């Protein structure tokens, strides 16, 4: 696999010089300083590309070009934002950057409720607890009818859990859900979250899926003309949040997207952590059945805690059969006769990084380097 690592630009607490020390050849990056919905100019793209190349690295993947919320609800200025999106794609193609990761998650991007989950070895992990999300939904957001989404047994558990929480814990839950995680767009206050939620609350699964397909039908000709590969990222976590649908959670969702918009530019990001939370997803099988549309790889592992809850485990130690996954990826690349960009996705906060206050949760240097080393070893063992 082509080894890459995510870098958030010049404000990233992990300097690009440190990323290079990990031994990767490629960078995964985005232009986060450009407002969502605005087109990326060739000048801005070239500036970032030259900076990356000045360190002997390549800008292999764009992650992400955020999809404006107007496009997801198909309202407001969605037509303008789609045109801007196509301009960005065209400009990236002209600059020789050909893989774009994006997502179509409504309201919130990737979501965790605990950013410092204590592991047995003393490191800190990211975690998602369905009870924390339910407490936010029912008692903080106070969504009308939220309690009806849970069984009587679950509702009793949520109430008991809420009654035992300290104010500091409630504030932590609210902050973790609203402030946004690295690469996620946007962050909210409680008031702006409620206002944004109101735009989505009448959008059911069929409507959100329709809006995704219409968006893809509109942008795929531009992607094809510019020799781009668009790689949609699965929902993270792959469950509905706040009663809102998610439409990229299972293998069946991906197959539907590829059948509805049958373009060689229409592919997906194979994220083992996101897809792995849903125990019904057969990850090695997805590689075999949908591998011709697999354009980018996120490798991380999780340990399921029940009811959609999970903690991010070490890369080769969890509920994802990473050995089978990597074996099938190697076979896929052999058949396709090309290397696919991969990045070690997230990592525990460990060693000296535990003491640091200025970090991007999941994207500390040492934890990701451990993950990369484990994945390298696994890949080399399978190649022998």
Fill in the DSSP letter of residue 66: P
- Nearest-Å Rg of the Cα atoms of the chain is 20
Instruction: Give the end-to-end CA distance of the chain in Å, rounded to a whole number.
Output: 15
Q: One of 68, 141, 346, 348 is an active-site residue; which one?
A: 346
Q: One of 298, 315, 348, 353 is an active-site residue; which one?
A: 298
Q: One of 271, 295, 348, 353 is an active-site residue; which one?
A: 271
298 is catalytic: yes
Q: Which residues contact 378 (CB under 8 A, 6 or more apart)?
A: 316, 322, 323, 326
218 is catalytic: no
φ/ψ of 57, rounded to 5, equals -120, 165
Fill in the DSSP letter of residue 244: B
Q: Which residues pair with 343 in a beta bridge?
A: 298
38 is catalytic: no
Q: One of 137, 236, 345, 353 is an active-site residue; which one?
A: 345
Q: One of 233, 235, 253, 295 is an active-site residue; which one?
A: 233
- Bin 210: left if φ > 0, else alpha if -120 < ψ < 50, else beta: alpha
Other Cβ atoms less than 10 A from the Cβ of 371: the count is 23
363 is catalytic: yes
55 is catalytic: no
Query: Residue 196's closest CA among 204, 187, 205?
Result: 187
Measured distance CA(91)–CA(93) in Å, rounded = 5
**Angle, to 10 degrees, between the axis of helix 78-94 and the axis of helix 205-225?**
30
Residues serving a catalytic function are 233, 271, 298, 345-346, 363
């Amino acid at each position: 696999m082509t080894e890459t690592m995510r870098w958030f630009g010049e404000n990233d607490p992990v300097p690009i010089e440190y990323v290079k020390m990990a031994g990767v050849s490629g960078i995964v990056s985005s232009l986060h300083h450009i407002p969502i919905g605005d087109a990326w100019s060739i000048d801005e793209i070239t500036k970032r590309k030259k900076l990356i190349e000045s360190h002997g690295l390549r800008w292999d993947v764009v992650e992400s070009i955020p999809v404006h919320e107007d496009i997801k609800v198909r309202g407001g200025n969605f037509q303008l934002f789609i045109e801007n999106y196509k301009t960005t794609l065209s400009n990236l193609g002209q600059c020789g950057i050909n893989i774009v990761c994006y997502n179509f998650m409504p309201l919130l991007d990737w979501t965790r409720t605990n950013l410092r989950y204590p592991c047995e070895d003393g490191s800190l992990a990211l975690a998602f607890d369905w009870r924390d999300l339910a407490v936010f939904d029912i008692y903080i957001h106070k969504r009308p009818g939220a309690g009806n989404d849970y069984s009587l047994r679950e509702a009793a558990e949520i109430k008991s859990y809420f009654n035992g929480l300290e104010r500091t814990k409630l504030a932590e839950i609210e902050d973790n859900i609203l402030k946004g995680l690295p690469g996620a767009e946007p962050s909210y206050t409680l008031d702006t979250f409620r206002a944004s939620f109101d735009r989505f609350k009448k959008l059911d699964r069929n409507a959100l899926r329709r809006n995704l397909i219409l968006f893809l039908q509109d942008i795929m000709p531009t992607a094809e003309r510019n020799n781009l590969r668009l790689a949609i990222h699965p929902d993270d976590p792959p469950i509905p949040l706040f009663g809102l649908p998610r439409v990229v959670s299972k293998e069946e969702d991906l197959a539907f997207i590829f059948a509805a918009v049958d373009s060689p530019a229409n592919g997906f990001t194979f994220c083992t952590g996101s897809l792995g939370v849903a125990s019904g997803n057969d990850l090695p099988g997805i590689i075999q059945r949908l591998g011709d549309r697999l354009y980018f790889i996120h490798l991380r592992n999780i340990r399921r805690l029940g009811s959609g809850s999970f903690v991010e485990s070490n890369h080769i130690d969890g509920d994802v059969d990473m050995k089978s996954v990597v074996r099938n990826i190697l076979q896929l690349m052999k058949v396709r006769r090309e290397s696919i960009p991969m990045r070690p996705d997230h990592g525990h906060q460990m060693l000296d990084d535990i003491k640091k206050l200025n970090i991007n949760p999941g994207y500390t240097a040492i934890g990701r380097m451990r993950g990369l080393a484990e994945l390298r070893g696994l890949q080399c063992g399978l190649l022998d």
